[in-house]
Amino acid sequence: MELIYRLPALLLAITVHEYAHGRAAYHFGDATAKWHGRLTLNPLRHLDPIGTITLLLFGFGWAKPVPVNPYNFRDYRSGMLWVSFAGPLANFALAFISMILIFLPLRLGLYWTPYFQFMETLAVFNILLGIFNLIPVPPLDGSKILMALAPGSVGGFFRQIEPFAPVLLMVLIFSGVTRLIILPLFTFVYNGMATLIRLILGLF
């Protein structure tokens, strides 16, 4: 039964994430994602097998990265920063909308279990995916954000470890390190969004 909610929530989360990267890159002057057919809301274009499995099993994962050529950006550093931020920000925005769609029916005295379970799953997956991708380990968005903000030596370091990054990432996941990082942040973001929405809707 959980898969009934998890699979469509997963597809929505990763599709919005990758589409946001592609759309932001296109805005800053790079059409590579469009040329590769990735500037789309078709989830099948964005699935990564390993990332999908880990997200289903462990609550966090990744999609197939949207191809981006930062040398096409009108402003390299600004483009890298905002294109990298776009995916996690889109996930947080979708999570916030999902939580509004949870609390608003409650405010109106409406309740339907399947609907609420799906919207809750969608909110949880989007927050987890957004936080996970902000971890500063290649090829996650957090490493690219750090490279855009930090001196050039940091970029050189990330480029050196990039060939080993998938192995490092899997070690961090299966050792439980990422869980120790993500869960407190998830609690903070989820509770913060819920509190803000309750204030807006007058549910206190």
142-152 pLDDT, tens per residue? 988 988 887 66
Q: What is residue 107's predicted lDDT score, i.e. its pLDDT?
A: 82
Percent of the chain, pLDDT > 90? 47
Per the model's pLDDT, the better-predicted residue between 28 and 53 turns out to be 28
Return the structure tokens found at 49. Answer: 């097998």
Mean pLDDT score of the chain: 87
Q: What is the pLDDT averaged over residues 68-81?
A: 91
- Catalytic pick among 2, 18, 120, 162: 18
Band (10; pLDDT cuts 50, 70, 90): confident
Residues 61-67 have a mean pLDDT of 78
Q: Which pLDDT score is estimated for 97?
A: 97
- Percent of the chain beyond pLDDT 70? 92
Known catalytic residue at 162: no
**Residue 122: what pLDDT?**
95
DSSP sequence for 49-103: HHHHHHHHHHS----PPPP--GGGSSSHHHHHHHHHHHHHHHHHHHHHHHHHHHH
pTM: 0.88
- Residue 136 pLDDT > 90, yes or no? no
Is the pLDDT confidence value at 139 over 90? no
CB 132 within 8 A of CB 61: yes
Please tell me the predicted confidence (pLDDT) of residue 76. 87
What confidence category does residue 182 fall into, taking pLDDT thresholds of 50, 70 and 90? very high
CA dist 76 and 199 (Å) reads 40
Predicted pLDDT of residue 121: 93
Instruction: Give the residue from 22, 24, 189, 11 showing the smallest Cα distance to 96.
Output: 189
pLDDT at 82 over 80: yes
Q: Encode pLDDT of 185-202 as tens digits.
A: 999 999 999 999 999 888
According to the model, what pLDDT value does residue 106 have?
84
Question: Closest by alpha carbon to 165, among 129, 131, 141, 181?
Answer: 141
